[in-house]
A and B are shown apart, each in its own frame.
Chain A
Amino acid sequence: MTSRLKKRLDNLGVDPSSAKLTENFCLIGTPLPSLEKSKDSGEFVPVWKQEVRDEQGRRRLHGAFTGGFSAGYYNTVGSKEGWTPSTFISSRTSRAAKGQKGSRPEDYMDDEDLAELRDSQKMIDTTEEMDVLGGTGAEMRRRADGMSLEKDSVASALESLIPTVRDSVGARLLQKMGWRLGSGIGPRVTYTKRKLQDQLYSGSSTSAPPDDEEDAEAGKHLYAPRDTKVILAKPKDNSFGLGYEAGQGLRGAGESSRENAKKGPNISAGFGLGALNDADMDDLDVYDGGLDQGESRRLAYDAGDDDEERIVLGATQARDKSARYPPSTAAAHFFHDGRPVLAGFALSDKPVMEDKWFALPEIPKGWKPNPQSVWAQGQENLEQAKKMPPPPPPRSGPDKWKAGAITADERGAMLGEAKAPAPPRSVFDYLSEKDRERLQNIKAGVSVTEKVEQPTPIEPPQEIIVPTVEPRTAQAALQGFQPFTTDPPKQARYTAYLKSQASSSAPPLAQKPGQSVDEFNKELSDFAKSAMIFKPISGAMANRFTSASIIESGPKAQEGLYKPAPGSYLTTPDETEKEEEKVDESPKAHAARAGMFGPLTRETQDWFPMRLLCKRFGVKDPHPDGPPAPSGGSSSQAPQWDPQSAFSSMPTQSHESAPRTAAIEDTPRPGSASAPSGKKDLANIGLGEDESQGKDTLTYERPTMDIFKAIFASDEEDSDDEEEMPVEVQGQTPYRQPSVPSAPTAPPPIASEVIPRAPSPPLDETPPDPATFRPTFVPRAEREGKRKGKDKESDKKEKKGKSKKMKTVLVSFGDDEMADDLKPKKPKKRSRAADGETERETDKSKKKRPKEDAPEDDEEDMWVEKPPPTIAQPSGSSDQTTLAKGRMRASDFL
């Protein structure tokens, strides 16, 4: 500002220091942003020194030397526990609030996700520069700056009410380039050009005559071009289809589009079209047509094309006329068939849709449909085809299907290519011709014999030559092998031929109708050869072989239509199967079908209710002797291993009072119907098929002692026995009876345990009667061996020993020492008695007991032993009490 100006201003009374006065209106260039305001602090830091930090200032990216994996969760979840998404819990009792019900995806996002989401939701990148309305922070700041200036509060308040209009960046740039509002963009134009533009935009072709004087002046200047008119697209406010124009009929639409089509298709803008490409349907711009003024409209599809192809046949002539020519106004009130039009309606003079009508071709008079001519045409074609040079010989094998086409090899040869290496040859290529033929025959299901026997072609004789076969040979061949069993007609002819050869009386084989002479000859020679081949010896041998028809493994297809044998309708295979089923039907089902309910339809088997079930029903367990089969407490019908029944079928000594032999005979248990004879149980397991195997040894009854005695015993012994027997008989009863009350010290608990097996209280302590006791020499080794053998058999001996031990503990007798020597005899006897032997048996055998018992023990050597010392009892009757006390017999416990 110059000093002169200052002076003048002073004179005018204006404060030269006022900011308004010093305002600079010239703006040259774009000012640089002020340094201190710049937010880019890393602006001048070299890239390698820059650090990336997140919005909270944390360093998130680490190199291998500045953290590496120690970055840990800071780069991922942000805390030690990890990021916990919010949860949604709603139970029947405590319902989640309805608002919370649908959890938003944001609930499960962390900070970064949310930030990303926010970013993505910002559709427009609003920078302060682009902000037209001035809602951004920059605008606020600007306003605040304005406030700081000396401005009265009223003015600023008013200013805040009016949004300051700021031009966009583009507008400002244009303004800087000289553009002003209202003028067009672009280089300046001359006056005349501008006039032209005016005409163009106004649309009026009649331009006003230019005044020259104005022109002279105006021509000296350049003008800004006229602003381009904003194209106002009319919003679509109706519900018609694209390109629809009201008031135009369908026909009109079609025609107009046809006009368009003549002008050439409008290519859609999206994709370019190659120079050589024709405009295809896909390339046409289907949405084109709204903006171009010249053409009224275009359709998305060309209805006109469709119309041209539509052909309607068979409409009546009258209808056609009425459709094509609108009726006169006089006739407008009637339809073409004379019916009046409804009141209030008028017939349209323009048809809505016009069908293309093609008249039928004129049928020449006298024409009759003759399909034969068409067929004849086909025949002609065939004939022509025949005249054509014959096609290349059909390829054999797998190439056959593409007969007529050129193979790759041929094509290669035509093109002069090098021949490809031949494919590996198949096995068949190495076979001889004959073998191959045979294989083919086999494949075709023809018996080999038949074909192979065909003779090599000889020159065909024209006369019938009947080869002769010796009658004997023919006779034999007739009875022998029949070679043509697979071909019954041939076989019949063969048989006829042989018969004619065998006996002169039989008629000779006649030629088949339609059979040529040489065929017949060939057949005859075949037959002759066959007869020679299957001559007597081979005929005899043929019995040993089955016929060759076995070769045909699969079902043979019969030629022609399937003709079921007469009567086979009645018994179709299904029915025969059914009949078989009926045969297979169990007698039970048969009885049920016949209504014969009762024993035939009833099956009874054992069933083992669980004990608890019996208890609940208040019923005694029907099978108390053992738990039912362990298979879930259910007995099954299938014959299976059933330990319970097996056990019950065993001769149990505790319950069955029957003699052992009887028990064993009972083993198969005829009473139980359900148990099949083959049922496996303990009694017969391991016996194989023969159930009675080994039975004789089990049921073997020893001959009476008399026989043994008669043979072996001396007279003295005999007398001894006779003496002893009555003694024994007497002693038997008292010797038992007192034992029951007088055995308190005997071990009943043991006895109860031991019941099934005989407890064998040793009798050793009873002093042998010195009168009858005769010491016998038994070698020590033998005795020891016996004892050892007994030791081996487990429980018997054990129990014996147990009871013995008890004895020694509870009841002590002075002469225990003698036990050892005498034990082998007495225990045996007791065990025998306890072994389920009944009173009856013992009674029966009482007389011979001493002798009989001893030999019955298998392990004992009966011949060595002396008669047991029990015999001595009666004589020393005072011993009875001690006897009773000391000896507990199994029968006592029973």
Chain B
Amino acid sequence: MAQASVKLSSAAHVPRSLHLSLASHAGPVHVVRYAKQSAKHILTGGQDRTIRLWNPETGAEIKSYTGHGYEVLSLCIAPDNARFASSGGDRNVFLWDVATGQTIRRFTGHMGRINAVEFNGDASVLASGSFDATIRLWDLRAQSRAPIQTLDQAKDSISTLHIGSTEIISGSVDGHIRTYDLRKGELRSDFLGHPVTSILPTFDSTTLLASTLDSHLRLMDCVTGQALNTFSGHLNMSYRTRACFAHGEAAVICGDEEGRVWAWDLVNGTSLGADKPPKVHEKVITWTEHHPLHAGEMVTASADGTVKVWKTPPGDKV
């Protein structure tokens, strides 16, 4: 009974009803991010080399940031919402001013397309992980053109990054999650055996949700490196699909390559809802992101060129 109630409550946390579909990207959308703070807006970046700013409530496209010469593969919004960073196929990290739509800086140095960019807590350092198997840490305070440091321990393309308060976590195609602990001055490499496509730590930074290209999501213990839970059932063999936590980290949400949005209970790892979730996108879902504050809001981006905003029906509010 208790389990059932847990299931119900966590199922209720996963927004399943379509609120809006934003379809002005011409081509696959690679990334969608919520703004920081109250998260009233979303930014999307796609294959069409544009970054678009939307209001997910109304579906209004507020602004379009053009400047990339190649596809946009990752975005990161600064904590103050004044700037954001983007990267993609043009091997440069772009730092944008949200209001003016101009690039403030461009960081050059990577030798391949850049799969991930991430700010640190106060947006003084920008990390970029690239296909050239390096992570470069750029100084946003100083005007130096060279990165502060280059982390080249990875053997293959860096696919995802996360910066915590005192650590930098990277997921690489060589199957490793590398945690660079600044405080201890040590590097912990956890081998997952399959290319790691997304990592997302929980709020307390003790566990880490990692998705790998063997159609599995794993909840890894940051301290010991053990897999606490495994979520599977979806199909994710060749594309980067970013998974996320539902509100309150009660569930794990991930899209798959058939366009389905899967959700699992975090604790017992059972798939929530139907056996096989309905197909809501035409193509592979590239990114899922839950609203950082509101319980029932989520966005998904897909290679079919649409970004969909999902909400829990009003009656279902928890």
Contact = CB atoms under 8 A, between A and B. Distances in A.
Nearest to B135: A634
14 contacts: A588-B191, A601-B192, A601-B193, A602-B224, A603-B191, A604-B189, A605-B189, A607-B180, A607-B187, A612-B149, A616-B148, A617-B125, A620-B183, A621-B185
Interface in B250-275: none
A20 interface: no
B235 interface: no
Interface stretch (B2-10, B31-39, B150-158): B150-158
Interface string B152-191: 1100000000000110000000010000111111111111
Interface of A: 588-589, 591-593, 595, 597-599, 601-610, 612-614, 616-617, 619-623, 632-637
B137 interface: yes
A382 to B, nearest CB: 63
B149 A597 contact: no
B124 interface: yes
A847 B33 CA distance: 74
B139 A617 contact: no
Nearest to B194: A592
B178 to A, nearest CB: 9
Chain B interface category by residue count: 35 or more
Contact of B141 (A607, A616, A622, A636): A616
Nearest to A619: B182
Contacts of A592: 175, 191-193
B291 interface: no
Interface in B94-120: 120
Contacts of A591: 191
B148 A612 contact: yes
Contacts of A617: 120-121, 125, 165-166, 182
Contacts of A609: 149, 180, 182, 185
B105 to A, nearest CB: 16
A798 B35 CA distance: 64
B226 A598 contact: yes
Nearest to B120: A617
B193 A606 contact: no
A49 to B, nearest CB: 72
B19 interface: no
Given A603-B189, A616-B139, A622 B225 contact: no
Given A602-B189, A613-B137, A607 B225 contact: no
Contacts of B237: none
Nearest to A608: B185
Interface core residue of B151, B191, B218 (most chain A CB under 10 Å):
B191
Given A595-B227, A602-B225, A623 B152 contact: no
A602 B190 contact: yes
Contacts of B187: 604-607, 635
B192 A610 contact: no
Contact of B192 (A597, A604, A606, A634): A597
B220 interface: yes
Contacts of B184: 622
B208 to A, nearest CB: 11
B172 to A, nearest CB: 13
B186 A607 contact: yes
Given A597-B218, A605-B186, A607-B180, A633 B150 contact: yes
Nearest to A588: B191
Contacts of B175: 592
Contacts of B185: 606-609, 621-623
A634 B152 contact: yes
A857 to B, nearest CB: 39
Contacts of B152: 632, 634, 636
A631 B260 CA distance: 46
A328 to B, nearest CB: 67
A623 to B, nearest CB: 5
Contact of A633 (B149, B193, B220, B226): B149
B63 to A, nearest CB: 24
Given A633-B149, A634-B150, A597 B190 contact: yes
Contacts of B183: 619-620, 622
Contacts of A601: 190-193, 225
